[in-house]
Structure 1
Amino acid sequence: MSREQLPAPRPVVWPLRPPSSATVSQAAHDGQVVVTIEHAPLSGVTPEMLAWWFGHVPGTMRYAGDVYPRYLVWHPLDHISYELVQPASGGGIGPGARLHIREALGRDPRRLIDIRVQVEELGEGGAVVAKRVAGTGLVRLENEFTAVPSGTRNVSRLRLGDESLLGRLLTNHIATTRAFPPDKLDAWARHHIEEIGNLEHFLPELFEERAGHEP
């Protein structure tokens, strides 16, 4: 993929959060790597809104005087596509649903994420998606929501690898050297701080407009 093949960047109508707005830490054990991001609170956003959002990313919305896919608004520069491959048993996005997500970190095609994940948890406490290989955890992204006076505190954890025998022997190495080598992991942390921060700029209005009208 070249830069010419990326979707055209959407207008950026608000400042993107800098890495300094969050606290980022990293831990390694038995070949696993866990990156924890403690985001600055999302002003005016509730856990209910976040649970709704992660269940309703597909769809369109008005933005910058036009209509765009919601996923392309979530990060106006890096996001490429977001596809519901297999709905949850009750329909739509929920535990058991499978997603195909594509994004180019920093609009750099060399840092392309093209991954199929399964939704493991979704509710007002948080959202979890994971990529597994032969039952072994390769990549797992956890977002934990906690209400605070100003809105919601979101803590994200990206887990690469797991404690299984196959993980220690093979897949942890794949996760940390091929799926997310160190430079790509740093770019992902910056991207994730930006995309989570963007939610406070459009989600409250979108939730008020659409919640109750979409299953």
Structure 2
Amino acid sequence: MEMKVTQDSMGTHLDWKHEGITPKMIDWFWSNMEKGFILWHPSQHETLEWAVAPKHGNPIGSVHIAPQTWNDGTRQNLYIRFEDLATVPANVKEYIVYEHCVVVAGLGFGPESLEVEEVMGYRIHQWEKTDYGVVGKSSAIGMKKKETPEQGITWSEHCAEEIGNWGAFLPQLYNLYQVVTNTDYNPYADLTVEGKGKDLNYKYIR
């Protein structure tokens, strides 16, 4: 697996590549995070819960509670929402260049954050198929809560371990769950996007 970290005025970005993983597996992961959240980062993640569960075919508006402790020792109990691309600022969407993506927003650290209007910031994860597997990019962009370059590096270290661990468990977990045909317990949404920049939107989610 290859990774490269860059930073600019908007935030921190992590380019990555994976062998043996398909875009469909990653699409599936975002509607089924509770099944693999501890595997995603065994040393820093705790059990994930859904404050608002995703619907089969459409995870927009779902909110997961993601307790975790980063390398700097900070424990966070983040409320994170799956965003509608139509509501994401154009300058954030400009970073999306691959065929599949998810944009999630950090809302806060308790149930009251479900009512916030101004988000703390965005995390973009995007990916597309290659001959060997997938190529992708993850970005941390602060909004209400701006992040220092040092905080961005701390995030990139955490994210790199998450993305890297996909190679250790995601193909197996995805394949195991193919026997579960009840979409109440095994939802799926195709996260292919179309358009560019401000016109970017999901192709199959309406």
Do Structure 1 and Structure 2 share a fold, with TM-score over 0.5? yes
Q: CA deviation at 1:114?
A: 2.2
Q: CA deviation at 1:150?
A: 0.8
Match of 2:152 in 1: 185
State the SS of the aligned residue for 1:136: coil
Match of 2:121 in 1: 139
* CA shift digits 1:82-121 (9 cap, x unpaired): 1100124x36981111111111112x53x22321121115
Match of 1:116 in 2: 79
Contact 2:11 2:152 in 1 (8 A): no
Query: What is the TM-score when the length of structure 2 is the normalising length?
Result: 0.70
Distance of 1:91 and 1:84 partners within structure 2? 14
State the SS of the aligned residue for 1:202: helix
Q: Which amino acid aligns with 2:125?
A: N
Q: Which amino acid aligns with 1:126?
A: C
Return the match for 2:7 from 16, 20, 26: 26
Return the match for 1:130 from 74, 99, 105: 105
Contact 1:101 1:115 in 2 (8 A): yes
Distance of 2:49 and 2:148 partners within structure 1? 25
Q: Which amino acid aligns with 1:24?
A: V
Q: 1:157 to 1:212 in 2, by over 3 A?
A: farther
Match of 2:26 in 1: 50
Q: Which amino acid aligns with 1:71?
A: F
Contact 2:25 2:171 in 1 (8 A): yes
Contact 1:52 1:211 in 2 (8 A): no
Match of 2:67 in 1: 102
Distance of 1:151 and 1:181 partners within structure 2? 33
Q: 1:202 to 1:195 in 2, by over 3 A?
A: same
The answer for unaligned runs of 5 or more in structure 1 is: 1-16, 60-69, 162-170
Identity %: 22
What RMSD over aligned residues (CA atoms) do the two structures have, in Å? 2.4
Q: Which amino acid aligns with 1:152?
A: V
Q: 1:113 to 1:182 in 2, by over 3 A?
A: farther
Match of 2:49 in 1: 83
State the SS of the aligned residue for 1:76: coil
Match of 1:205 in 2: 172
Report the more deviating stretch, 41-50 or 183-192.
Answer: 183-192
Match of 2:195 in 1: none
Q: CA deviation at 1:151?
A: 0.3
Pick the structure with more strand per residue: 1
Return the match for 2:15 from 35, 38, 46: 38
Distance of 1:73 and 1:92 partners within structure 2? 24
Moved over 6 A (4+): none
Distance of 2:51 and 2:25 partners within structure 1? 23
Contact 2:12 2:149 in 1 (8 A): no
Contact 2:83 2:103 in 1 (8 A): yes
The answer for unaligned runs of 5 or more in structure 2 is: 86-98, 108-112, 181-185, 188-206
Query: What is the TM-score when the length of structure 1 is the normalising length?
Result: 0.67
